[in-house]
A and B are shown apart, each in its own frame.
Chain A
Amino acid sequence: MNFEFSEEQQMLRDQARNYLSQHCPTTLVRRVLNNRETHDADLYKGIAEMGWTATTIPEEYGGLGMSSLELVVIAEELGRACAPVPFSSTVYLAAEAIMALGTEAQKEAWLPKFADGSAIGCFAMGEAGGAVTPDQMSTTMADGVLNGTKVPVADGGIADVAIVVCASDKGDGATLALVDLSQDCIDKDNVQMIDFSRGHAELKFNGACAEVLGEEGAGWAAVESLMNTAAVLFAWEQIGIADRALEQAREYALGRFAFGRSIASYQAIKHKLAKMYVKNTLARSNAYYGAWALNAGASDLSVAAATTRVAAIQASLFAAEENIQTHGGMGFTWEFDCQFYYRRAKLLSLAVGSEKQWQSRLVDGLAATA
């Protein structure tokens, strides 16, 4: 047993942190957020040139054929930097779906482009009113024709291809569709989210052409599996956010004086930051196991992924909220960076299912093996 990242993985982390501190300073995040841009295309191009988008894509499709352990290292740094790029949609969701379920033709059509950054992917599951289960969905596909509306779709406005979860009358009630988003019959409407630095869209499919991805009527099982992978990968972004928020709070508290001493010397602040540290530590430890379980295809991946996500949600929300609190009035200003972590943490806490959903999945998993 060995409970650490390898030396190479730690070097990858240093390299990624370095790269992002130069190419994704908070001023860049601020610009994207201020202007409600969908993403920073130059940054995404640079990230692709670093090879990060190719990390887990097999070499035969132009990827680097590395493991999810390398990918989580990158994910943490992207989270810490609040990078405004469509990395998660393309890499954690679209690429994973096509790698797991695609035909040779589908893999060859999209994986090399995801790997070199020339195409962006997205995953469209949610519908208005919080609908995320097959019985609540109205998007359907019949004989290769897709109808319905998905909202909000992360990076839906800039993606070239979408994986769309459709209701089906077969099997487990869902089928996944692979849809080229360049079709005219698809309406794309920008949707502003709590995090202005992450573009989202409403996608309306009016008789769009689509291919089945995987098997008809086996969509829900596929989604379950994809969600486990995504939960672990997003968790590492959330951990990056949580750690950065703690660091900011600490730095600010140390330098800020009141009643003749640094506010970092008051127990109320010390205990608040210590509580952040404890939650971050638990989240990180759970994420270690989640990353390993994902990589090893462990039998308890379902419980591990759920534990990882619930812990990461709790840690990142607490850290982002209390970071603002520690900053006092300045934390509440537009000018300060605290808002980036607050917005991003909340967005990610809902991106692939709420805390409540994953608490339920976790306990169902424990009950099944008890």
Chain B
Amino acid sequence: MDFNDTPEQAAFRKAAADWLAANVPSKDEIKGMSRLEVAKLWQKRKYDAGWACIGWDPAYGGRGASAIEQVIWKQEEAKYDVPAGFFVIGQGMMAPTLMAYAQPQHLERYLPKLASGEEIWCQLFSEPAGGSDLAALRTKAEKDGDEWVINGQKIWTSGAHYSDFGCVVVRTDPNVPKHKGLSYFFIDMKSPGIEIKPIKQLTGESDFNEVYFTDVRVPDSQRLGEVGQGWQVSLTTLMNERAAIGAGSSGVNVGLAVQLAKEVMIDGKPAIEDSAVKARLANFYVEEAGLKYTSYRTLSALSRGDIPGPENSIGKLVGAPKMQQLASFCMDLLETSGAIWDTKRSKLADNIIGSYMGAPGLRIAGGTDEIMTNIIAERVLGLPQEPRMDKGIPFTEVPTS
């Protein structure tokens, strides 16, 4: 066991660090650009120099980097304030699904532009009636010659408003039990019949959308997997979602909280000397460090070529509530000033209050805390599923609200 770099890894780290130092865009360079424009500029720059999606096959824009090298790259890139997130879904989830199921000509057409950021992909899974019961989705697709015609509605589709393509799961046979009647396609988001309506979040932003499908046509050649195999294909996407969203470290962290606790006073002494403050900071750190080292241990499995397993659920399950509680704690340290969300008065407010407002979404997106906990119980600990009322009966007969 060794948490230090080997000589080869150290050399890789240096190459990455040197390239980043020379190529991260300066403030002047990106003046006046939107965050999305900056993200695309940065992604293209990385792609042209061979630093985008480094774990991918070179034929598709990567450099075949090992899992450890990918971690090293992420560690080095994280030292800079560059926009991340626009490409997570496309590169982290859609691309592995394409790699597993798409035809070679599609891989050649779509993967390089996914890697370079020229094209952005979204995930069209959730529906208003389904919630955590993803397989109960109702958007349907009916065959018409060489095409399928899609009608229905998706919800919570992050980034649909700036996406070029998307992966959609639809019901192709409502007369069989729900899991067996699904199929999976990738579609052009500019197709006629697609209507995107932004949803305003409690944070005030509109990162996600409702997406309505009215007689949207998609070629059968864009189907991934067999007809009726849509659930299996979705599972590939979902398993990669856990690794992609996993142990995200954006927002408040213990380092920031420690700084704050050194500056703020309680009873005439720095808060960091208060034993109640110490206890909470220590507990947050146990989680933060524990998540980091757990992701390193999972890497060893990935390096052996194993698929990211359900153990990865712990990243989001622990990380999202922790972000909420840590942000809340930082606000508490500042007493009523902690509630000031005025960037002129508080430089940290965007980070701290932004984290507190965004955390509820993280505890729900990509699998709620409760579903993640169930998954650990069932898939990791092998405990029985609860009885379900819709098992084995045709979808058309399932009770619903």
Chain A residues within 8 Å of B, Cβ to Cβ: 1-6, 69, 250, 253-254, 261-262, 264-267, 269-271, 273-275, 277-278, 281-283, 285-286, 288-289, 291-293, 296, 298, 306-307, 310-311, 314, 356, 358-360, 362-363, 366-367, 370
Contacts and interface: CB of A to CB of B under 8 A. Distances in A.
Contacts of B254: 366
Contacts of A2: 1-2, 300
B99 interface: no
Contacts of A264: 383-384
A275 B377 CA distance: 9
A306 B282 contact: yes
Interface stretch (B120-128, B198-206, B285-293, B353-361): B285-293
Contact of A278 (B71, B314, B383): B314
B265 interface: no
Given A292-B1, A311-B286, A363-B281, A282 B384 contact: no
B294 interface: yes
11 contacts: A1-B4, A3-B1, A273-B381, A274-B380, A285-B294, A289-B289, A292-B1, A307-B285, A356-B279, A359-B281, A362-B285
A5 B299 CA distance: 14
Contact of B386 (A4, A266, A298, A358): A266
Interface of B: 1-6, 9, 68, 71, 254-255, 258-259, 261-262, 272, 275, 277-279, 281-283, 285-287, 289-294, 296-297, 299-300, 311, 314, 317-318, 370, 373-374, 376-378, 380-387
B9 to A, nearest CB: 6
B17 to A, nearest CB: 16
A144 to B, nearest CB: 39
Contact of B282 (A271, A296, A363): A363
Contacts, number: 159
Contacts of B68: 1
B290 A311 contact: yes
Contacts of A282: 286-287, 290-291, 294, 314, 318
Nearest to A260: B387
B9 A1 contact: yes
Contacts of A262: 384
A281 B294 contact: yes
A260 to B, nearest CB: 9
Nearest to B318: A278
Classify the secondary structure of A's interface with B: helix
A359 B386 CA distance: 39
Nearest to B3: A292
Contacts of A286: 286, 289-290, 293
Contact of A1 (B282, B289, B296, B373): B296
Contacts of A278: 314, 317-318, 376
Contact of A359 (B283, B299, B380): B283
A360 B278 contact: yes
Contacts of B386: 265-267
A144 B378 CA distance: 62
A253 B384 CA distance: 10
Q: Give the 6 A-B CB pairs with smallest separation, nearest first.
A: A282-B290, A359-B282, A270-B377, A285-B293, A265-B384, A274-B376
Contacts of A358: 282
A273 B377 CA distance: 7
A3 B283 CA distance: 23
Contacts of B317: 278
A264 B287 CA distance: 27
A145 B294 CA distance: 50
A296 B4 contact: yes
Contacts of A269: 383
Contacts of B376: 274, 277-278
Classify the secondary structure of B's interface with A: helix
A3 B5 CA distance: 11
Contacts of A360: 275, 278, 282
Contacts of B262: 367, 370
Contacts of A291: 1
Contact of B384 (A5, A261, A367, A370): A261
Contacts of A3: 1, 3, 293, 296-297, 299-300
A314 B286 CA distance: 10
Given A262-B384, A370-B259, A275 B3 contact: no
Given A289-B3, A370-B255, 11 more contacts: A262-B384, A264-B383, A267-B374, A270-B378, A277-B381, A289-B293, A292-B1, A296-B3, A307-B282, A310-B283, A363-B278
Contact of A69 (B1, B255, B286, B294): B1
A97 B325 CA distance: 40
B293 A310 contact: no
Given A3-B300, A282-B294, A311-B290, A366 B1 contact: no
Contact of B289 (A277, A281, A307, A359): A307
A264 B261 CA distance: 43
Nearest to A271: B373
A250 B311 CA distance: 17
A273 B279 contact: no
B290 A362 contact: no
Nearest to A359: B282
B392 to A, nearest CB: 18
Most chain A CB neighbours (cut-off 10 Å) among B262, B275, B381, B384: B381
A362 B381 CA distance: 32
Contacts of B290: 281-283, 285-286, 307, 311
A363 B258 contact: yes
A291 B1 CA distance: 9
A366 B260 CA distance: 12
A262 B387 CA distance: 11
Contact of A270 (B282, B285, B373, B387): B373
A288 B384 contact: no
Contacts of B4: 1, 296
A1 B6 contact: yes
Contacts of A254: 383-384
A294 to B, nearest CB: 11
Given A270-B383, A370-B259, A288 B377 contact: no
A281 B314 CA distance: 9
B54 to A, nearest CB: 16
Nearest to A276: B381
A151 to B, nearest CB: 25
A273 B294 contact: no
B363 to A, nearest CB: 14
A283 B286 CA distance: 8
B387 A288 contact: no
B1 A288 contact: yes
Nearest to A278: B314
Contact of A370 (B9, B258, B277, B282): B258
A360 to B, nearest CB: 5
